[in-house]
Structure 1
Amino acid sequence: MKIKTSAALFTLALAVPLALLAQSAAPEKIEIDAPKTDQGSDKSLIDKSRTTNLPAAPTVDQTTTSKMVYGLLSDSRYAYRPRPLDASLSQDVFKRYLEALDGNKQYFTAADIAKFEPYKASLGDAIRSGDLAPAWNIFSVYRQRVNDRIAYARSLLKQDFDFSTDEHWEYDREKAPWAANAQELDAIWKKSVKNDWLRLKLAGKQPADIRATLDKRYANMKRSIDELKGEDVFQSFLNSYTGAIDPHTDYFTPRTADTFNQQMSLSLEGIGAVLQRQDDYVAIREIVPGGPAALSGKLQVGDRIVAVGQGKSGAMTDVIGWRIDDVVQQIRGKKDTQVRIDYLPVSAGVDAKPARVVITRQKIKLEEQAAKSEIITAPAANGQPARRVGVIKLPAFYQDFEGRRRNPDDYNSATRDVARLLAQFKTQNIDGVVLDLRNNGGGSLDEAVDLTGLFIDKGPVVQVRESGGRVAVNADRKAGVAWDGPLAVLINRGSASASEIFAGAIQDYGRGLVIGETSFGKGTVQNIVDLDRWPANETARFGQVKLTIAQFFRVAGGSTQFKGVVPDIAFPASVDASEYGESTYDNALPWTRIAAVPHTQYGNFAALLPQLEKLHAARIAKDKEFQWWAQDVAEYRAEAAKKYVSLNETVRRAERDKQEAKRKQRQAERKAMGLDLDPLADESDDGLSSNERDIVKDAARDKLADKRPDPLLRESAAILADAIDVLGQDRKLSAQVLPESTGPRSWAD
């Protein structure tokens, strides 16, 4: 998880509900991306009348799906913790559906909630019977309330605001009571609009530009709601039910199921371009190197797609104003088929004649999300030479399941990619390896087991307890290792599930050091159930359920559930456990323990840790970058804890000036000390939402963000180097920490 700047706390809270938009649009950086904004005139966009995509009633397939999901989640043969759909659970579903629609309590009033009260006890019956009218009725009121609020927000833009008062905008209303009436909501929204205006004013925008920007922003919010379809509402409602069962059970429509599977496999069949919404257009955000779009030599970042045609002669379909996932569906297709795309070049105006490109679709490997390596040199210290530490950054435990079935010798796999990088390290005189699992949310259980097997010489990796109580042991059964030298695993609060299995196993085996923050705490197993398998449908109709079927336990017996993996060497916590992680879910499974299973103990670092802590503390006391990071963490957490921002211009300007001065001072110190410069040091809050920035510049900024100094990774490499040095110098300690055993060699060799 990246630490946000304080400016990020000032972002617009009057947003479309994440639970709906995240499901209705394609996830970022698969092949199609999320909205950004054209800088030209948009009066036609603002004034354009749009028709609703929401049907008057659920479909027959949705009715059937609701019954099927109920049958699945109420059956202990499938669900790890089945819950009867009684009055209590019905009330929980009701609460979660309202949270999905209006979690920040900025649209509904207390009077609306009172009118919904009769549904509280009946939603269970509705799900069982497939009568989804209550969900549609609540959403219809919600859509009207959004329209009312947006209309009010836009009307406020006609006036000027007084920023000399001592008002505060409380942007976090999750625990606040529902507004009593529309007048109370008016007051809340007025402060939010004032905040939006003030951010743009502080960024140097003039009143006319501010009015135009915010009017467009609010109109786009309305459009996002208007574009929601019945499948979006249905998915959000069913996920209110699945989420009441446990935090990691989800329902996917056929479209979102397809996207999820592509994420897991890191591959898809298409043109190899990341797309995002930009006003009425879907534009190119990034072109995948080596993909069909790149090889065409015609498309560029910022080009806007206006029409799509299938094959050599299929009719061109105008896609201006379409939802991004609908455009995705037109562009993606089977390998070796052709697609024709009409587009407006980035340098052309909206009235220019579109250009056309014909592209043959191919299978695209999403290399950006695959394992990557680099080498860090840890400086000489304590009379020992400099150490070359190989770093492998693994963002997910991905596997192309279908590819593995078709060709077990050639498929996308996290383990296969890491093994290849380790083999390269062996030719590069590497002293140790750091596996960076920060923000790795997990993925394939098989990959977690196989990856552990690269570092241990056979043995159990994780225990899995099913709903009936039976415990199975998933083990690495392949003899030999890919890396037998010093190892460290870097984790943070965003490291979850498969990441915790791997880190926990490495820790239990004493195979390596675990460094960083306590991990997320997700210790449950999910499986995908295809609802179309029972009727044996030729085409996807009912979607899929990601269902919790078991719980993980480490080989030492403790669960990763709730508590996570605690590092051997801890860095300051970037987020509080009450803000992010398994412990924030009100229905998370508790931590528990079962019996340990026999496993090799390659080492026990307990006796070494005090020395490593001492060396670590001495080094970071002199490490400016690490100190700055810790300072930013502390400031962010203090700012986030306030849950409000001032609407006084003098106060906010002073805060802004202080942040800018801090960035400039740090950059000057970096330059004076010969440190790597921060490529984003000159960036400040521009007051814009992500979909309002110039797409070309914003894409370039994303690339620069990857080059920012990373003091945590550098310090992890230094800690591993310390361990190698200390054990190399102290043979008695080495014998205690790393007793002679079969398997990986001693770190002191």
Structure 2
Amino acid sequence: MAAVKPLKLLAMAAAVAAFAGTATVNAQTADSGATRPPACRPLPPEPPPLKPTTVTTIAQAYHCVLDNYFSGPVLDSRALLQPAFAALTRELQRRGLDQSNANAPVLTGKRDADWAAFSKVYQDVVARLPKESQQLVAETTIRAMVDSLDDNHAGWLRPGDPDFFPVGFLPSHARGPGRTDPTATGPAYVTDVLKGSAAANAGVKLGDEILTVNDVPLFVDGIAVPRVVEWLMEAKEGQRVRLTMRRPSTGETKNYDLTVIRPPEPPQTDVVESKLLPNGVGYVLMHGFEPGAADKVRKAIADLGKQQRLRGVVFDLRGNGGGSPDEVRKLVSSWVHGKTYSYWCDVRDKCTPNRTDDSVPLLNLPLVTLTDRRCASACDAFSSAVKDLRFGTLVGTRTAGAVSGPGEGWVLDDGSFVGLPKVHELGANREKIDTVGVPPDHFAPVTAADLSAGRDPGLDKARALLG
């Protein structure tokens, strides 16, 4: 399994790698012809220097969404600005800085007029804040604006040199910065351990159930408790974290009092790993759909075939967070030709079919693909193609359903980034995969008890299907 990294660093790397695009953005607004701030720009090769986040930055983000987001052409400006202002006022209250003049701006749905009203109130509020609070309030406002899209491929990111580290393991219900799997009911358990971390040094093992963190349970009545996952993924060096855990293989409950340390850099692992299983079954594990990954999968299968004539391939995509749509196309085209495997659609339902590349040689091997709730984005897309086009069998659990559409990245004047999908994706049968996921043909979840005992029911089922 891949080494654990701080989730926000993973998100940053994914944003820079996956967001790419260009746009021609008019510097005049449609409503009144008023001059707008400089347009958001496509991501540069190197991250720009960070500067303070100002009202101009927020204006850039506002227009960037309207110009470049999937539903931008029909998006009501109030749907962006009302959540942004609400988040601003909540932040003021949390910090004991609420103001009598922090009244909601009057918004009418006219984009320029709404921005002018929002900007005036925002600047009046920020002018009265202590200087040390202005940046955090600005970040809260712009993040809430982008988050209001409720799109798993849209987000705002301000990179930096974070001083937080993971305690040293990945909990089963974590899905990204501040996010948990909405289907998880607990108990959460350890799915990966970072070598050299505080948790690893203390003896935390795969499958250990996480009962409490700092004496707070991760779940109450089957619902994940907000922010507790951040104590695990974003602890500060030197911070103490108390854990109560249960080991399913022995039934033993253990208490840990960890002091967070800076873990060593994990060794670089290839995106593709492979091995030959008994009875001529090839096993290929792919950690991500990064550029070149499909060629590495094809080479791994070819190399295994040189050792023994293959009867089939187990393609393990569990934990695969996605990547490039180009790799999806090449992998689908390795098993089937002459097919449409997905559609990219605009807000008015004008759809472009994604077709197989029939110049890619077919592998002509039976395929069983392993999936789980961490199989997301491009992994969702590939899994849906396998199921819809019936060129393989899915085993495991339903995928993440985090495949709204391919993201494009834009840089703002403070050095922060906005990621926005221009289109939304549908499966080969024109069904929606986003927020739903792809159910497997055979359910074979890996439980905490399985991990603790070293069992893999998904792989066992895949091998049985291939005979």
The TM-score normalised by the length of structure 2 is 0.57
Aligned to 2:102: 118
Instruction: Pick from 48, 65, 73 the counterpart of residue 73 of structure 1.
Output: 65
Contact 2:405 2:424 in 1 (8 A): yes
TM-aligned CA distance change 1:65 to 1:571, over 3 Å:
same
Aligned to 1:240: 144
1:549 aligns with 2:422: yes
Aligned to 1:457: 337
1:398 aligns with 2:290: yes
The gaps in structure 1 that reach 5 residues or longer are 3-20, 31-57, 144-225, 260-274, 279-300, 303-323, 325-363, 378-386, 400-412, 533-539, 575-625, 633-677, 679-707, 726-749
Contact 1:443 1:497 in 2 (8 A): yes
TM-aligned CA distance change 1:450 to 1:96, over 3 Å:
farther
TM-aligned CA distance change 1:234 to 1:414, over 3 Å:
farther
Could you tell me how far apart the structure 2 residues matched to 1:237 and 1:473 are? 37
Structure 2 residue identity aligned to 1:521 = G
Aligned to 1:90: 81
Aligned to 1:252: 157
1:562 aligns with 2:435: yes
Structure 1 residue identity aligned to 2:425 = F
Could you tell me how far apart the structure 2 residues matched to 1:515 and 1:115 are? 55
**What is the DSSP-based 3-state SS (H/G/I as helix, E as strand, rest coil) of the residue aligned with 1:417?**
helix
Aligned to 2:463: 721
Residue deviations 1:320-358 (CA, integer Å, cap 9, x gap) = xxxx9xxxxxxxxxxxxxxxxxxxxxxxxxxxxxxxxxx
Structure 2 residue identity aligned to 1:252 = L
Aligned to 1:437: 317
Aligned to 2:111: none
Structure 1 residue identity aligned to 2:434 = Q
**What is the DSSP-based 3-state SS (H/G/I as helix, E as strand, rest coil) of the residue aligned with 2:148?**
helix
CA displacement at 1:443 relative to structure 2: 1.8
Residue deviations 1:476-515 (CA, integer Å, cap 9, x gap) = 2233545321211111112112111101111112111111
**What is the DSSP-based 3-state SS (H/G/I as helix, E as strand, rest coil) of the residue aligned with 1:479?**
coil
Aligned to 2:376: 496
Identity of aligned residues (%): 18
Could you tell me how far apart the structure 1 residues matched to 2:372 and 2:293 are? 19
1:628 aligns with 2:370: no
Aligned to 1:108: 94
Contact 1:80 1:548 in 2 (8 A): no
Residue deviations 1:129-158 (CA, integer Å, cap 9, x gap) = 487547858996xx9xxxxxxxxxxxxxxx
Q: Which has the higher strand share?
A: 2
Structure 1 residue identity aligned to 2:61 = V
TM-aligned CA distance change 1:69 to 1:428, over 3 Å:
same
CA displacement at 1:547 relative to structure 2: 0.8
CA displacement at 1:376 relative to structure 2: 3.6
Contact 2:372 2:399 in 1 (8 A): yes
**What is the DSSP-based 3-state SS (H/G/I as helix, E as strand, rest coil) of the residue aligned with 2:71?**
coil
Contact 1:235 1:252 in 2 (8 A): no
Contact 1:235 1:251 in 2 (8 A): no
**What is the DSSP-based 3-state SS (H/G/I as helix, E as strand, rest coil) of the residue aligned with 1:449?**
helix
TM-aligned CA distance change 1:96 to 1:470, over 3 Å:
same
TM-aligned CA distance change 1:373 to 1:132, over 3 Å:
farther
TM-aligned CA distance change 1:718 to 1:542, over 3 Å:
closer
Instruction: Pick from 252, 262, 269 the counterpart of residue 368 of structure 1.
Output: 269
Structure 2 residue identity aligned to 1:567 = P
Could you tell me how far apart the structure 2 residues matched to 1:85 and 1:497 are? 28
Larger Rg computed on CA atoms: 1
Contact 1:526 1:546 in 2 (8 A): no
Q: How does 1:224-239 map to 2 (within 5 A)?
A: 230=135, 234-239=138-143
TM-aligned CA distance change 1:27 to 1:529, over 3 Å:
closer
Q: Which moves more between the two structures, 465-474 or 518-527? A: 518-527
1:389 aligns with 2:281: yes
Q: Which has the higher helix share?
A: 1
Alpha-carbon RMSD across the aligned residues, in angstroms, is: 4.5
**What is the DSSP-based 3-state SS (H/G/I as helix, E as strand, rest coil) of the residue aligned with 1:242?**
helix
TM-aligned CA distance change 1:627 to 1:276, over 3 Å:
closer
Contact 1:494 1:519 in 2 (8 A): yes
Contact 2:370 2:395 in 1 (8 A): yes
**What is the DSSP-based 3-state SS (H/G/I as helix, E as strand, rest coil) of the residue aligned with 2:54?**
helix
Q: How does 1:658-677 map to 2 (within 5 A)?
A: none
